[in-house]
Structure 1
């Protein structure tokens, strides 16, 4: 399975969700996982290298990559159909190198927030993605949602995004997310993220 984490809008938490998914699939479900870090900041790769110094054997591999290297890497990473490849995409749409990535993917997880600019970026990303790969399964995650804040456009955003894919339960904005590593997820977050990932991955893992 090839799963993308993407949105044209930066700062929506796609790198964090990539790591959380890697931890969930490898540590909780015992699935072989590889993360391709294609984001310009390479934050997952940096986190991975830092954690390797402090921890024991890593639960999965993190490979820094770019759009140009994808066609060479993916046949090797998907030889076994039980392998899961998670890809943290760069936050852009103006590169033809994205086309083979979109075409190869089975699933895209698209985090977003309830503001007008992020909504427009999310829709644009999804429209382009669907033009390249009409069959791809799209999952939207309302992410970093602040408690006790009323979002006036929430109903409209959910209604529009549901035309393209499924919307999960919201993930709140919590300080604990800053303590995530590529070796573990803080126990305090399990009750928040596990129901979301169960909803996204359970059927796919069972089919494998």
Structure 2
């Protein structure tokens, strides 16, 4: 199964969310996971290499990649039907190399926040994604949300995005998210993130990663 973590808007928390989901799938659900790091900053790959020096066996593989190398990677990864492949996308939409990535995906996990610019970027990303892959399933995660976010705006944005897919409970803006690594999600984040991750797993991954890929 191939899951894209993406949004055109930079700073939405894609890379951290990819790590949190990878940690959850491997440690809690015993799923074999490969993370493909296509983000320009390569922050996941950097954390992976740093953690390998400090820890023992890696719980999953992180592969730095470009859009150009994806078709070759896709062919290799498709040989393991049980694997869940998480792709941390670059924050752009103006590259034809994204088309095979979008077409191969089973699910998009899209973090967003409730400001107007991020909402517009999220809708644009969603429309482009659906135009390329009309059958794609989408999950929207309100991420890094501050306690003073206006309820009326949140309600309106959720209503608009729910036309494209499911909107999960909010993930609050917590300093502990900065401590997430390729080996570790801070324990005090589990009560916050696990309901969101369990919903994604139950609705979209459970039983399906064994037959798709």
* TM-score normalised per structure 1: 0.97
Whether contact under 8 Å (2:114, 2:149) holds in the other structure is no
Q: What is the SS of the residue equivalent to 1:172?
A: coil
| Alignment partners' CA distance in 1, 2:192 and 2:108 | 20
Identify the residue that residue 205 of structure 1 maps to in structure 2: 206
Give CA deviations for 1:151-189 in whole Å, capped at 9, x if unaligned: 542222111111111000000010111111100111001
Aligned length: 208
Alignment partner of 1:102 is 2:96: no
Identify the residue that residue 137 of structure 1 maps to in structure 2: 137
Give the RMSD, CA atoms, in angstroms: 1.0
| Alignment partners' CA distance in 1, 2:156 and 2:200 | 23
Whether contact under 8 Å (1:114, 1:151) holds in the other structure is no
| Alignment partners' CA distance in 2, 1:153 and 1:107 | 26
Q: What are the equivalent positions in structure 2 for 1:37-186 lying under 5 Å apart?
A: 37-186=37-186
Q: Report the alpha carbon displacement of residue 111 of structure 1 after superposing the two structures with TM.
A: 0.3
Q: Report the alpha carbon displacement of residue 5 of structure 1 after superposing the two structures with TM.
A: 0.5
Whether contact under 8 Å (1:8, 1:92) holds in the other structure is yes
**Gaps in structure 2 of 5+ consecutive residues:** none
| Alignment partners' CA distance in 2, 1:64 and 1:80 | 19
Q: What is the SS of the residue equivalent to 1:18?
A: helix
* TM-score normalised per structure 2: 0.95
**Gaps in structure 1 of 5+ consecutive residues:** none
Whether contact under 8 Å (1:38, 1:89) holds in the other structure is yes
| Alignment partners' CA distance in 2, 1:152 and 1:49 | 43
